[in-house]
Amino acid sequence: MDENNILLERLKANDEAAYQELFEIYFKQLHHFAERMVFDSEVAHDLVQDVFISLYENSKKLSARSNLSGWLFVSVRNSCLKYLRDRKVEDRRNVLYAEAMLHSESMEWIDDEELLEKIYLAIEHLSGKCREIVKMRLIKEMKYSEIASELSISENTAKVQVHRAILKIKEQLAADSAFFILLNAYLEFFQE
């Protein structure tokens, strides 16, 4: 009988030392495996711990011929896939939130303080004239014709400045993907 089968038999007998041995043998490998899938060390840690808890609760259901190592890796993989699927649901909610923002046609509707703060900060990093035009369009919600009239520029110039500013804002904020999805949808509305 190989070492994994012996450990499995000890697990079935609720031998806590066997759980500890198994944890020491596989935890680092499983954590590394999970981290490569979810790109977050803490989430990977939690997912692997959950698999060990599941093993503890279900060890009696495993057969003596079960490939314990295979079972652990498949369980971690499945947990990671479930986590990623759930994250897509969260991202979809963010997209729906962004779509609702678009229909409101006003930054006043945004109740997410972090989102507002990031938008304002990104706007402040723009150059002088561009920043002024973007504030008129996004914050004051002025039409391009109104901006052009007030600044004595062409309507097309105002549109180009807003378009360029939006590209710069997207570049600055691209690191935060959930925020980027929201901002991208929101800013595209103002390019119309």
- pLDDT digit of tens for each residue in the chain (192 aa)? 567 678 778 888 888 888 899 899 999 999 988 888 888 899 999 999 999 998 888 877 776 666 788 888 888 988 888 887 777 655 555 545 444 443 443 455 555 566 667 777 878 888 889 899 988 887 787 888 999 999 999 999 988 888 888 777 766 655 554 455 555 555 555 555
Residues 180 and 173: beta-carbon distance below 8 Å: yes
Stated pTM of the model: 0.48
Q: How high is the pLDDT of residue 189?
A: 52
Domains and CATH numbers, the chain: 3-88 (1.10.1740.10), 105-189 (1.10.10.10)
Which ranges of 13-141 would DSSP assign to H, the alpha helix?
16-38, 41-58, 68-104, 113-124, 128-134
Q: How high is the pLDDT of residue 49?
A: 95
Q: Which of 190, 186, 188 is nearest to 94 (CA)?
A: 186
CA 56 to chain centre: 31
Residues 136 and 147: beta-carbon distance below 8 Å: yes
Q: How high is the pLDDT of residue 108?
A: 54
Q: How high is the pLDDT of residue 26?
A: 92
